[in-house]
Amino acid sequence: MTEHELTTTDRTRLRRAHLRGHADRATAYAILDATMHCHVGYTIDGSPYVTPTFEWREGDDVFWHGSSASRALRAAEGAEVCLTVSLLDGLVLARSGFHHSVNYRSVMLFGRARKIEDPAEKTERLKTFVEMITPGRWQTLRPMTDQELKGTTILTMPIDEGAAKVRDGGPIDDEEDYALPIWAGVVPIRQQVGEPEPDPRNLPGLDVPGHVRAFRIG
């Protein structure tokens, strides 16, 4: 392992489809940066819970946030968690049901969650999150209140132990099946950004800001 690779352990070592595995940070970071959506797994009172939330990466650390009243976030402080990001890129149709597959990108990270306590740091982290999504928006918003900041929990963990998996390309059939008169190929699947929809209670004369029109996934 080098400083440019994720730490591989028994729980992140691939048991099958080894060619799809990637331990380099560049691949993992590209997947994390390609979407905001993730799932975080917690253990609460001996039972597993997996919750969807938004994540963002700053350097070699990943962050996520939620309500300070969240039982999952309270249980995660100082505890081991698993954060997963997955992107569906296509449906792979083969000449047999057994060889059907999907094209995807995913990364799974393990670590010990740390709660951001300092109000100034919490504010800065939330600003970074908003600015990563819509650069230039933070300065247009009213300042957060102390109560809003108190009601928000931010957790983080270092990006260290984990693994990424990627599958792309077409179907891989048994050699003899290529002679069969069966259509095979890939149906691409993409997320798409639509036209902004104004709030009906916007004040008259407000145009869609440039930072909203410029929004792109990833």
Containing structural domain, residue 62? 18-170+181-186
pLDDT digits (tens, 9 = 90+) for 60-113: 999 999 999 999 999 898 999 999 999 999 999 999 999 999 999 999 999 999
With a pLDDT cut of 70, the percent of the chain lying above it is 96
Is 109 within a domain? yes
Residue 214 lies in a domain: no
| pLDDT at site 1 | 44
In a domain, 166, yes or no: yes
Instruction: Transcribe 26-87 into DSSP letters.
Output: HHHHHHHHT-SEEEEEEEETTEEEEEEEEEEEETTEEEEEEETT-HHHHHHTTSEEEEEEEE
* Residue 188 bridge partners (DSSP): 90
> Residue 12 — very low, low, confident or very high, per pLDDT cuts 50/70/90?
confident
Domain total of the chain? 1
C-alpha to C-alpha distances, 83 to 69, 80, 172, nearest whole angstrom: 20, 10, 30
Residue 47's pLDDT band (boundaries 50, 70, 90)? very high
**pLDDT single digits (tens) 185-202:** 999 999 899 999 999 999
Residue 2 is assigned to a structural domain of this protein: no
Q: Cα separation of 96 and 137, whole Å?
A: 50
CATH at 137: 2.30.110.10
Q: Is residue 148 part of a domain?
A: yes
Is 205 within a domain?
no
Instruction: Write down the H helix ranges in 113-178.
Output: 119-133, 146-150
Name residue, tokens 């709030």: 199
Average pLDDT, the chain: 93
pLDDT digits (tens, 9 = 90+) for 153-174: 999 999 999 999 999 999 999 9
206 falls within a domain: no
Contact 162, 28 (CB under 8 A): yes
Domain assignment present for residue 79? The answer is: yes
